[in-house]
Amino acid sequence: MNTDISIVLPAKNEAAAIGQTIAKILALQYPQADILVINDGSIDNTATVAEAAGARVIHHPYGKGNGAAIKTGARAAQGNVIVFMDADGQHDPADIARLLAKLQEGHDMVVGARQKGSQASIGRGLANGFYNRLASWMTGHRVEDLTSGFRAVRADKFCEFLYLLPNGFSYPTTSTMAFFRAGYSVAYVPIHAAKRIGKSHINLLRDGTRFLLIIFKIGTLFSPLKIFAPVAAGMFALASAWYGWTWWHEGRFTNMSALLYTSSVLIFLLGLISEQITALMYKDRQ
């Protein structure tokens, strides 16, 4: 399989780690693999180190984001199977073989699921746990690690959803939910993520706000009604409670009750429309 594998490493200012990461990959059973580094506007010598280590490097003239680097790598990949992994030393190249072995069992995407003790901080660990439970409820399948960037995918299927992927850090979430929605098989392999080399590019305030939006993106990517229907039901229940209270105390139907009832119906109808739009997004385009 070696000549059919592309290993894509998005990198921004990762000169301290990229060389040894590539060396570890080459030291394993992938000397013929297409190792592709996407230099996302680095201001250090990331590109020079990566080329010297033996990787093919594609340059972004400025920082476009982790997701944009992933899309560039997927378009340029030569293999039928693409392995995405971080260039900062968190992911162990020895785990690539385990991901590929699982993929050969008939799956379309295999994700390296980080075990306890692998999260960068307690806060991020709690947030990822919440995302995993939410995604599991949305899909009806157990999602072990929604945000892991270490994964092996079948290139043709992954490229179907490039237009959906954001340019920021939420590409793992979007791609996982897209695969589930399309009916493709997703599997998980337990891994341990080491402490990264160098400084993280994630800003707690800025990216924390973006990750909150992921919650709504999960719903709209997979089944919008699972988001809209509970909200509509809550509005309807609130309208009924308010109507009951005003009828009991004042003997009349108020404008607030009418507004709440109308809002509940509109929200439900928006969910239905979103469900139809989502279905069109995932129709077979072959």
pLDDT tens digits, one per residue of 137-166: 888 888 889 889 999 999 999 999 998 888
**Of 197, 145, 204, 203, nearest to 176 (Cα)?**
145
The parts of the chain modelled with pLDDT lower than 50 are 1-2, 286
**pLDDT attached to residue 141:** 86
Say what the pLDDT of residue 210 is. Answer: 67
pLDDT score for 33? 80
CA distance 224 to 217: 9
Residues with Cβ < 8 Å from 105, sequence gap 6 or more?
187
Look at residue 239 in the predicted model and tell me its pLDDT: 94
Residues with Cβ < 8 Å from 51, sequence gap 6 or more? 57
Q: How far apart are CA 200 and CA 182, in angstroms?
A: 33
At 66-80, the pLDDT tens digits run 999 999 999 999 999
> What values do phi and psi take at 233, rounded to 5?
-65, -40
What's the confidence (pLDDT) of residue 138?
82
Continuous segment of H or E residues that includes residue 242: helix 225-250
Q: Check residue 139 and give its pLDDT.
A: 82
Q: Supply the pLDDT for residue 76.
A: 94
For residues 22 and 7, give the distance between their C-alpha atoms in angstroms, rounded to a whole number.
10
User: What's the predicted TM-score (pTM) here?
Assistant: 0.81
Q: What is the C-alpha separation between 208 and 194, in angstroms, rounded?
A: 22
Query: What's the confidence (pLDDT) of residue 252?
Result: 87
- State the pLDDT at residue 286: 47
